[in-house]
Structure 1
Amino acid sequence: MESCGLYIHIPFCLRKCNYCDFISFEYKKELAEEFLLALFSELSLLSQEYDQTILETIYLGGGTPTCLSGEELARIIEGVKEHFPVKEGAEITCEMNPATGVEKDLKIMREAGINRISIGVQAFDDRILQYLGRVHNLSEALKTYYTVREVGFDNINLDLIFAIPGQTRKDWQDSLEIALKLNPEHLSLYNLKIEENTPFYYDYLNGKLKPVDEDTEYWMYQDAINTLKNAGFEHYEISNFARPGYASRHNLGYWHYKPYLGVGPGAHGFFGSLRYQNTDDLEEYISCLTRNKLPRQEELHLTCKDQMEEFVIMGLRVLEGVSLDEFRKRFGESLLEIYGTQIKKLIKLGLLNLKGNYLALTEKGLFLGNEVFAEFLL
């Protein structure tokens, strides 16, 4: 059987944050029940198509999965296991908003098999949280973290955002220090992006929002790298840091170009040479599955060239880099021959280096990743 990951998109939120362009809708119990029934239908259809597949990771993302009750989340895990075999010791992650952490629900989630929690804190600063449009405050974030820990979860990630307008390097450092005092196993750090069709985007167009300058953004990133390395974290991917043994196995699957299935509105999947995306319209999603039809919005059959590009770009996100042997094993050709001109140019610019059998970003290249990735589009 072939191993793969499963991503489940839960499309509900308490409210939309000012920076968020993810697919989400206001939680309503009746609509949530319709969604769950459609989700189980999608799992059933996929299990027939991928009947020789075993899941090694499951990731419940959103939206805010914990808008659903513990019982509803347990039903999802049960539904997955009814349709797919799940490896012993599989990593099963659930994202949560600090405003939705209830001890009773967390206990049910843990009993259902969820063994990793990712908390969207974003900042340990009430002023910044309010600016971002988050529904929780600092006190709730701390309380939620302690509750998750007390329930028995021993693998916790905290999401934090930097390069927020009005945020100083000291503000950012303060958030990092509070996070370290909590002693999580994993930290994901993201620089704020102004996404289209968000409140921040319209503020930017109207001159009400001025993005953080590139120098400040760079030094915030470097501050985080230095602080977390000194605290014993491994910087294993551009935006991700982990205690030894706690790297996100699900996300490593993406970066190592392993297959994964995606279910739920707007979810993506990748298997063999097929990459697909579900419709992001919740009503259409439910309607398709009521008619026993997969809710595909787009299907793309990747050429060998497409797969080479994706393999390199995804692999370069990991600090270990891209394996030259793995590239040859997968494609039957030498990465250094296919991309020789680009690699020489990027090494000369100090953005890439060759470390034994791996091609990897340099410290300078980490901050300029998108510029590096663009060079590998054949």
Structure 2
Amino acid sequence: MTAVYIHIPFCEHICYYCDFNKVFLEGQPVDEYVNLLIREMELATEGKQLETVETIFVGGGTPTTLTEKQIERLCSAVKRIFPLSKNAEFTFESNPGDLSVEKLSVMQASGVNRLSMGVQSFNNELLKKIGRIHTVQDVYQSIRNAEQVGFENLSIDLIFSLPGQSEADFKDTLEKALALDLPHYSAYSLIIEPKTIFYNLMQKGELILPSQDAEANMYDFLMSEMEKNGKKQYEISNFARTGFESRHNLVYWSNEHYYGFGAGAHGYLADRRYSNFGPLKQYMTPLSENKLPIFQVKDLSLKEEMEEEMFLGLRKVAGVNKKRFFEKFDRNLDEVFKDALETTSEKGWLIHDQQNVKLTREGRFLGNNVFREFL
């Protein structure tokens, strides 16, 4: 199975917490970028016997800053270049407020069948504080538009432990989100990344975040409420109605191969991880000369592959399957990670039987601590 990730780096506004590769939309050569992005896909697949593609994910940046014509051109190229399976999952990330009925109709006609919307909060004041330009009303309108056009597979992202956010506020956001009864939800604890506006504020002592206890309480409430509302947790930060799990993200967590296209995109093919140039000019120049824009390539050792299998796979609630591990690496998981399994099991973070190794409920609160034991 193969997956395809496509990066659209353009944003109308830069959110204060975002460290993804992005640029302000205004004045950018978007048409040229789309043309060269298609060229990259052609160059990367030229003369290759391609496996069937099961999932495509267009992320950003903000993919829905593209015009209807640009979306149509990109999607048409994807379908021309890659052999898509009959029921391929084709996701577009979007911003509430960008989703007009016209744009949604073009997306659906172009083969897009899943939308992932960056909502983050149902509190307008908090949205302003984190640099979002949409309102709660935009969220409701975008979902109405998507449902009107016929989209059934909708997901929204939420962030908790935001600056100035109380537990009561997060509970209110979660209640409003769940009242929509969507098939999929992602909810992440805020991480302050270098080179973001929030990081700079934190360095100056001007960013007041909720306490660790408050953050843990928010996550506890999240897990309980999702379960009560029939949204099964299948990964540390992801919840879905059965059958609506993100197949694309499961490719990452199952440590399977995928193409990465676009400025700053990462890919993983034939046990080799690679990344593209991030700055637009550095990405576009080689492509205009019919060369791939690859900045860095890393061939993984067997040890690195096995470690990645663990720290990615343990994000899934189902954990890592021991039989699959043996089939992939011809090594016994219990022997390779004997010490790490003992340490994490003693602390109550991990459980393992003959079939699987997985996080306990307590372990989900301390994922990074667990993953470090396997490195």
TM-score of the two chains, using structure 1 as the length reference: 0.97
Residue equivalent to 2:234: 236
- Which blocks of at least 5 consecutive residues in structure 2 are unaligned? none
Report SS of the residue matched to 1:99.
coil
Aligned residue number for residue 376 of structure 1 = 374
1:21-41 residue CA offsets vs partner (Å, 9 max, x unmatched): 111112247600110111011
Quick one: structure 1 residues 50 and 364, their matched pair in 2 at CA, closer, same or farther if it must change by over 3 Å?
Answer: farther
Q: CA deviation at 1:141?
A: 1.3
Letter in 2 for 1:336: D
Aligned to 2:114: 116
Per-residue deviation, residues 182-231 of structure 1 (Å, max 9, x unmatched): 11110000111111111111111111112221111111000000001000
| 8 Å CA contact retained: 2:50, 2:82 | no
What is the distance in 2 between the residues matched to 1:200 and 1:120?
18
| Paired amino acid for 1:110 | Q
Matched, 1:352 2:344: no
- The aligned counterpart of 2:9 is 11
Greater than 4 Å deviation, 4+ residue runs = none
Corresponding residue of 1:148: 146
Q: How does 1:326-345 map to 2 (within 5 A)?
A: 326-345=324-343
What SS does structure 2 have at the residue aligned with 1:98?
coil
* Structure 2 counterpart of 1:153, one-letter code: F
Q: 1:73 aligns with which of 29, 53, 71?
A: 71
- Aligned AA for 1:211? L
Residue correspondence of structure 1 range 1-378 to structure 2 within 5 A: 3-28=1-26, 31-48=29-46, 50-377=48-375
Give the letter for the 1:184 counterpart.
L
How many pairs are equivalent? 375
* 1:313-369 deviation line (CA, Å, top 9, x unaligned): 111000001000001111111000011111011100001001440000011110111
SS in 2 for 1:298: strand
Distance 1:121 1:318 in 2: 23
Distance 2:374 2:220 in 1: 25
The aligned amino acid for 2:340 is: Q
Shift, 1:50, TM fit: 4.2
- What TM-score does the superposition give when structure 2 sets the normalisation length? 0.98
Gaps of 5+ in 1: none
1:157/1:184 contact within 8 Å kept = yes
**Aligned letter for 2:248?**
H
With over 3 angstroms needed to count, the CA separation of the structure-2 counterparts of 1:141 and 1:111, relative to structure 1, is same
Shift of 1:165: 1.6
Specify the code of the residue in structure 1 equivalent to 2:273: R
1:151 Cα deviation from its structure 2 partner: 1.1
After alignment, is 143-152 or 223-232 more displaced?
143-152
Given that 2:314 and 2:320 are in contact with CA atoms closer than 8 Å, whether structure 1 keeps it comes out as yes
SS, match of residue 100 in structure 1: coil
Partners of 1:33 and 1:317 in 2: CA distance: 37
Residue 54 of structure 1 deviates from its aligned partner by: 2.0
Tell me, in whole angstroms, the C-alpha distance in 1 between the residues paired with 2:27 and 2:206: 37
SS at match of 2:112: coil
- Kindly indicate whether the alpha-carbon contact (under 8 Å) linking 1:71 and 1:105 is maintained by their aligned counterparts in 2: no
Report how far residue 159 of structure 1 moved: 0.3
> For the residues of structure 2 that align with 1:70 and 1:153, how far apart are their CA atoms?
17
Take 1:313 and 1:197, find their aligned partners in 2: how far apart are those partners?
25
Q: 1:65 to 1:316 in 2, by over 3 A?
A: same
| Contact map agreement 1:42 1:263 (CA 8 A) in 2 | yes
Amino acid at match of 2:270: G
Q: After alignment, is 169-178 or 69-78 more displaced?
A: 69-78
* Cα deviation, residue 70, structure 1: 2.3
Deviation at 1:164, TM superposition (A): 0.6
Asked if 1 retains the 8 angstrom alpha-carbon contact of 2:50 and 2:83, the reply is no
Partners of 2:306 and 2:201 in 1: how far apart?
39
For 1:289 and 1:281, how far apart are their aligned partners in 2?
A: 13
Asked whether the equivalents of residues 164 and 209 of structure 2 are also in contact (C-alpha less than 8 Å), the reply is: no
Q: Distance in 1 between matches of 2:202 and 2:184?
A: 32
Question: Which moves more between the two structures, 19-28 or 250-259?
Answer: 19-28
Structural RMSD (CA): 1.1
Conservation of the 8 A alpha-carbon contact between 2:322 and 2:354: no
Identity %: 39
